[in-house]
Chain A
Amino acid sequence: MSSTAKITVTVDGDQYIDTVEARTLLVHYLRETIGKVGTVIGCDTSNCGSCTVLMSTADEPARSVKSCSVLAVQADGATVTTVEGLAAPDGSLHPVQRAFHEMHGLQCGYCTPGMIMSAIDLLRENPDPTDEEIRDGLSGNLCRCTGYQNIVRAVRAAAGEEVAP
């Protein structure tokens, strides 16, 4: 039996204390242990970005990470935001969510949670990106449906709005 560890993680505003196997990936912890299935898995080589979440540790600001390339134990003490934690308590959408809807930035929607989280991080770093900077900034996220054009439009539309998670 592999070794286990106790972790404390805040996910979408709620604190969780769990015992996990040392090898458990953050994405599996989110999906299987605490039921945050809004974050999805698209590959097994950390190439697709479907699993992207925002993570911050005590002294670092929230950064996007591929939750399939982080161990759950590495998230001990961290704050994680998934796509499920973006909307306000009254249900009103985050500006990036709204922009994806308005600009038709999704079709099947499988890449969308990861795409939205990456876009939020991109806009945090560069609040007024050019199209080219958007395309480069999203290069870790694959979408098979949209050809990305409307995703770029969506990110551009959200630029300038308050995009902190």
Chain B
Amino acid sequence: MTATDEREVGAARRRKEDARLITGRTRWTDNLTVPGLLHMAILRSPFASARIVSVDTSAALSRPNVVAAFSGADVADVQGSLPCAWPVTEDIVHPDRPPLAVDVIRHHGEAVAVVVARDRASAMDALEAIEVDYEPLTPVLDLEEALAEGSTLVHPDKGTNLSYTWVFDSAAAGTGADVGAVDAEVVLERRYVQQRLIPAFMEPRSVIVDPGAGDYTIWSSTQIPHILRVFYALLTGTPEHKIRVIAPDVGGGFGGKLHVTPEELITFMAARRIGRPVKYTETRSETMLAGHHGRDMIQDVRLTARRDGTVTGISVKLIANMGAYLGLVGPGTPILGAFMYNGIYKFAAYRFECTGVFTNTTLTDPYRGAGRPEATYLIERVMDELAVELGLDPIEVRRRNWIKKEEFPFTTVAGLVYDSGDYDAATDKALALLGYDELRKEQELRRASGDPVQLGIGTSTYTEMCGLAPSRILGALRYAAGGWETASVRVLPTGKVEVVTGVSPHGQGHETAWSQIVADELGVAFDDVEVLHGDTRTSHKGLDTYGSRSLAVGGIALVEACRKVRDKARTVAAHMLECSPDDLEFTGGAFRVRGTPDAAKTVADAAFAVFAAHDLPDGIEPTLDADATFDPETFSFPHGTHLCAVEVDTQTGHVAIRKYVAVDDVGKVINPTIVEGQVHGGVAQGIAQALHEEAVYDESGTLVTGSFVEYTPPAAADLPDIVTDRTETPATTHPLGVKGVGEAGTIASTPAVVNAIVDALRPYGVRDVPMPCTPERVWRAIRAVGTETEGGRS
């Protein structure tokens, strides 16, 4: 029996998952097949808004290898409506969302009809034989026009394009003052636009539905197999226990696979109609067109402050684009940001208002950070504006407002209790790593000499709420589900350990991190732990992976399950050692009799004794396993300071990131390599929003960025190396001390980059560049200010 003595938690373990991923022995959904499998292809609308006059699938049916073809009209009475699990207000306007359009098209790419064939190519070929007669209508695309009186309506039967208005007011909530009643020696009003983004996970979505004999097995490239199973039951009338959902290897998600998709439902209907297993794998163009999008909101902010730099209040008004329908959690996504617009600061007053609006576009739903990047962007941009207004260093103006280490736990003006943090420590470390003072000097020199390449430094001192989420709070916010998480730990007779987790990883390395935790908790070897996930038959309960929740919630459940197992093993070990459980200490991977450390039994010894069951203490069942479910009482609040130095060529508008420093405090760290990787990837996606990406519709409502040719996630040459470091302020609200890291980089980095660009251009009078800050936009921003000055406007 080997019991490890080294602490696994905190070790830079290489990942277990890699073995299959680097050798191509991967179980992506599209790699899987089952006997009799058929293949489905989907015909999608070329229009953003149209009436469907008729759909004729008969010619497609006669194409070679075609087994079935049907349209929305053929399934209108059975297909139901896709769910929105987060109707944020009581009177929210919540239109039906049929998986296949029946009479009306409401966005480019909406599914119209399908072909099912013996092979993929035949199914795709036969799509062209489907005849659809559309009557094109004028789409509504602009957010403010959609809200205007007399606007064309996306859902005429609803009489409005306004879905909901959700308000938080610190005066009404009793968490702060009235924004109108605080000192306002300085007032700043700004508008920022969060452009529409596409999650662009690398594995296109794929689903297989095997109808069995009424007992369905479904493989899907999803982040949420458990939630999906519940909705399959609710939407199809299939008893829940007759549905097994499996998320096999899943190639990225970033919120983009946090959905119950039309395609999942359509594939189900096809398999049920035909009585054979059906697979659907989307093309990349379909992902771009019909997988949900993220961000897309207009943000108006009014910030009040005293001349000494103390911010007194902040008012935020959002207009959030829902797209044509409400997504699974689309209305709630901006609301996740509602508690974060005050950032790490001590403001006296806060008001937030979000209006959700329908347009003839693909719907929006979570994308990495989901509401919190938007909030962080706004507050960190406007703090820089305040610094300029007051002639203060941007770090200094932040320092004057942020919560001090000794002030935790701190109840914010948004009503959240931040348990811990050390903003000074993270910031000081970041400043030193960047070489802030030297860069400021260089900036002075370049400004003085009129260097065409200007230097800018951007700051982002962020926090975020992770660990979604306390079920009671979710209930109060009208979210349909809870936020708990679960784990089962079972020790096999030979001392190997199987762990079942309710979270559903898709690149995060949970198999590795979970093994590290179990190894320490039970004194077993890292390699002796197997982590099972993503199959509702082995893992029948769980709430899956999103919102940086897996470790911060699921990890706690895991620790608690391990401790239950260890307690039972202690009882058995004491019996074997003929002592009282109280005489044992668990050290070096074994229970040892205090004072006689050679008298020892491991968890594995106990497991075999339990298996044999020849001589167990009275009342002990012959198993060594335990379940635990953890429902957090509060969120966790990682924080950090990201600094970005850019060089902006004022003649071409080209932006080059010269140095990027990320100092993050994610609490206690289980695996620093994985944490660093999450920061790298997160920062890359945030930089991508700042500099590269935007989903664009033309005036007809056609998505013109419908492939990787036009929508270009950054390649290796487009991104810098980033310098990472950490401070470690453990969470105080649970036994693991972790805070979550999945979204931090994305949340922090976008404002750091844009602040740097604007900082570089301050001498030119520029105070904003709309994202993405492409060379053309930077160049135009410089030129626009120049023109205004020439024209005598201020």
Chain A residues with a Cβ under 8 A of chain B:
1, 21, 24, 28, 31-32, 36-45, 47-48, 50, 82-84, 86-87, 93, 97, 100-102, 104, 106-113, 116, 131-132, 134-136, 138-152
Whether A144 contacts B677 by the Cβ 8 Å rule is: no
Quick one: which of A38, A102, A150 contacts B24, CB cutoff 8 A?
A38
Determine the chain A residues whose CB is within 8 A of the CB of B285 once the complex forms: 44-45
| Cα distance, A54 to B201, chains bound together (Å) | 25
| Cα distance, A47 to B284, chains bound together (Å) | 10
Whether B715 contacts A106 by the Cβ 8 Å rule is: no
Contacts A32-B120, A143-B202, A149-B722 given: A37-B28 contact, CB under 8 Å? yes
Whether B722 contacts A147 by the Cβ 8 Å rule is: yes
Contacts A101-B18, A136-B717, A138-B716 given: A146-B680 contact, CB under 8 Å? yes
Determine the chain B residues whose CB is within 8 A of the CB of A112 once the complex forms: 21-22
Whether B681 contacts A106 by the Cβ 8 Å rule is: no
Quick one: which of B121, B251, B708 contacts A109, CB cutoff 8 A?
B251
**Cβ proximity bits B697-734 to A, threshold 8 Å, 1 near / 0 not:** 00000000001110011011101011000000000000
| Cα distance, A45 to B200, chains bound together (Å) | 14
**Cβ proximity bits B1-39 to A, threshold 8 Å, 1 near / 0 not:** 000000000000011011111111110101100000000
Quick one: which of B28, B509, B685 contacts A40, CB cutoff 8 A?
B28
Whether A108 contacts B680 by the Cβ 8 Å rule is: no
Determine the chain B residues whose CB is within 8 A of the CB of A86 once the complex forms: 23
**Cβ proximity bits B249-287 to A, threshold 8 Å, 1 near / 0 not:** 111101000000000000000000000000000011100
Q: Does B683 contact A (CB under 8 A)?
A: yes
Whether A38 contacts B202 by the Cβ 8 Å rule is: no
Whether B22 contacts A97 by the Cβ 8 Å rule is: yes
Whether A152 contacts B24 by the Cβ 8 Å rule is: no
Contacts A44-B284, A143-B202 given: A106-B707 contact, CB under 8 Å? no
Determine the chain A residues whose CB is within 8 A of the CB of B694 once the complex forms: none
Q: How many residues of B are counted as interface, with CB atoms below 8 angstroms from the partner's CB atoms?
A: 58
Which chain B residue lies CB-closest to A152? B716
**Cβ proximity bits B663-688 to A, threshold 8 Å, 1 near / 0 not:** 00000000001101110111111000
Q: Does B506 contact A (CB under 8 A)?
A: yes
| Cα distance, A119 to B169, chains bound together (Å) | 54
Whether B24 contacts A39 by the Cβ 8 Å rule is: yes
Of B19, B23, B285, which is in contact with the most chain A CB atoms at under 10 Å from its CB?
B23
| Cα distance, A112 to B709, chains bound together (Å) | 21
Quick one: which of B14, B31, B120, B204 contacts A104, CB cutoff 8 A?
B14
Given contacts A101-B15, A107-B678, 9 further A-B contacts (CB under 8 A): A28-B120, A40-B251, A104-B674, A108-B251, A108-B252, A139-B717, A145-B681, A146-B680, A146-B684
Quick one: which of A38, A141, A145 contacts B26, CB cutoff 8 A?
A38
Determine the chain B residues whose CB is within 8 A of the CB of A131 once the complex forms: 721
Determine the chain B residues whose CB is within 8 A of the CB of A32 once the complex forms: 119-120
Quick one: which of B509, B713, B721 contacts A142, CB cutoff 8 A?
B713
Whether A108 contacts B31 by the Cβ 8 Å rule is: no
| Cα distance, A108 to B203, chains bound together (Å) | 9
Determine the chain B residues whose CB is within 8 A of the CB of A145 once the complex forms: 202, 252, 507, 677, 681
Quick one: which of B200, B681, B683 contacts A107, CB cutoff 8 A?
B681
Whether A1 contacts B680 by the Cβ 8 Å rule is: no
Whether A109 contacts B14 by the Cβ 8 Å rule is: no
| Cα distance, A97 to B681, chains bound together (Å) | 20
Contacts A37-B31, A45-B284, A47-B708 given: A106-B21 contact, CB under 8 Å? yes
| Cα distance, A109 to B252, chains bound together (Å) | 8
Nearest-neighbour CB distance to chain B for A155, whole angstroms, equals 10
Determine the chain B residues whose CB is within 8 A of the CB of A147 once the complex forms: 680-685, 719, 722
Determine the chain B residues whose CB is within 8 A of the CB of A111 once the complex forms: 202
Determine the chain B residues whose CB is within 8 A of the CB of A135 once the complex forms: 715-717, 719
Determine the chain A residues whose CB is within 8 A of the CB of B674 once the complex forms: 104
Which chain A residue lies CB-closest to B745? A147
Whether A108 contacts B507 by the Cβ 8 Å rule is: yes
Sort A-B residue pairs by CB-CB distance and give the 6 closest, nearest first.
Answer: A38-B24, A109-B21, A108-B507, A110-B251, A147-B684, A47-B708
Determine the chain A residues whose CB is within 8 A of the CB of B249 once the complex forms: 109
| Cα distance, A142 to B507, chains bound together (Å) | 15
Contacts A47-B709, A104-B15, A139-B716 given: A97-B23 contact, CB under 8 Å? yes
Whether B721 contacts A149 by the Cβ 8 Å rule is: yes
23 contacts between A and B (CB under 8 A): A32-B119, A37-B26, A38-B24, A40-B30, A41-B30, A47-B707, A83-B24, A93-B22, A97-B22, A106-B21, A107-B508, A107-B678, A108-B203, A108-B250, A110-B201, A136-B716, A139-B716, A139-B717, A142-B708, A142-B713, A144-B202, A148-B680, A150-B677
Which chain B residue lies CB-closest to A39? B24
Determine the chain B residues whose CB is within 8 A of the CB of A150 once the complex forms: 677, 680
Contacts A110-B251, A144-B252, A146-B681 given: A43-B716 contact, CB under 8 Å? no
Whether A141 contacts B509 by the Cβ 8 Å rule is: no
Whether A109 contacts B716 by the Cβ 8 Å rule is: no
Determine the chain B residues whose CB is within 8 A of the CB of A148 once the complex forms: 680, 684, 715-716, 719
Q: Does B64 contact A (CB under 8 A)?
A: yes
| Cα distance, A21 to B708, chains bound together (Å) | 27
Determine the chain A residues whose CB is within 8 A of the CB of B683 once the complex forms: 147
Whether B22 contacts A83 by the Cβ 8 Å rule is: yes
| Cα distance, A42 to B678, chains bound together (Å) | 21
Which chain B residue lies CB-closest to A23? B121
Whether B722 contacts A144 by the Cβ 8 Å rule is: no
Contacts A38-B23, A107-B507 given: A102-B14 contact, CB under 8 Å? yes
| Cα distance, A113 to B707, chains bound together (Å) | 21
Quick one: which of B18, B120, B251, B707 contacts A44, CB cutoff 8 A?
B707
Contacts A32-B120, A108-B201, A109-B17 given: A144-B254 contact, CB under 8 Å? yes
Of B19, B119, B120, B680, which is in contact with the most chain A CB atoms at under 10 Å from its CB?
B680
Nearest-neighbour CB distance to chain A for B66, whole angstroms, equals 14
Quick one: which of B121, B508, B708, B713 contacts A45, CB cutoff 8 A?
B708
| Cα distance, A41 to B712, chains bound together (Å) | 17
| Cα distance, A109 to B25, chains bound together (Å) | 11
Determine the chain A residues whose CB is within 8 A of the CB of B19 once the complex forms: 101
Contacts A108-B250, A110-B202, A152-B716 given: A82-B684 contact, CB under 8 Å? no
Contacts A1-B64, A45-B707, A142-B708 given: A149-B680 contact, CB under 8 Å? yes
| Cα distance, A97 to B120, chains bound together (Å) | 31
Determine the chain B residues whose CB is within 8 A of the CB of A83 once the complex forms: 22-24
Determine the chain B residues whose CB is within 8 A of the CB of A108 once the complex forms: 21, 201-203, 250-252, 506-507
Whether A44 contacts B283 by the Cβ 8 Å rule is: yes
Determine the chain B residues whose CB is within 8 A of the CB of A143 once the complex forms: 202, 716
| Cα distance, A113 to B18, chains bound together (Å) | 11
Determine the chain A residues whose CB is within 8 A of the CB of B713 once the complex forms: 142, 144
**Cβ proximity bits B523-546 to A, threshold 8 Å, 1 near / 0 not:** 000000000000000000000000
Which chain B residue lies CB-closest to A143? B202
Determine the chain A residues whose CB is within 8 A of the CB of B677 once the complex forms: 104, 107, 145-146, 150
| Cα distance, A42 to B444, chains bound together (Å) | 46
Determine the chain A residues whose CB is within 8 A of the CB of B24 once the complex forms: 36-39, 82-84, 113
| Cα distance, A84 to B31, chains bound together (Å) | 14
Quick one: which of A1, A40, A141 contacts B203, CB cutoff 8 A?
A40
Whether A104 contacts B673 by the Cβ 8 Å rule is: yes
Whether A106 contacts B28 by the Cβ 8 Å rule is: no
Determine the chain A residues whose CB is within 8 A of the CB of B284 once the complex forms: 42-45, 48
| Cα distance, A47 to B716, chains bound together (Å) | 13
Which chain A residue lies CB-closest to B711? A47
Which chain A residue lies CB-closest to B13? A104
Determine the chain A residues whose CB is within 8 A of the CB of B678 once the complex forms: 107
Whether B715 contacts A139 by the Cβ 8 Å rule is: yes
| Cα distance, A150 to B17, chains bound together (Å) | 16
| Cα distance, A40 to B454, chains bound together (Å) | 43
Determine the chain B residues whose CB is within 8 A of the CB of A38 once the complex forms: 23-26
Determine the chain B residues whose CB is within 8 A of the CB of A39 once the complex forms: 24
Determine the chain B residues whose CB is within 8 A of the CB of A132 once the complex forms: 717
Determine the chain A residues whose CB is within 8 A of the CB of B22 once the complex forms: 83, 93, 97, 100-101, 106, 109, 112, 116
| Cα distance, A154 to B180, chains bound together (Å) | 55
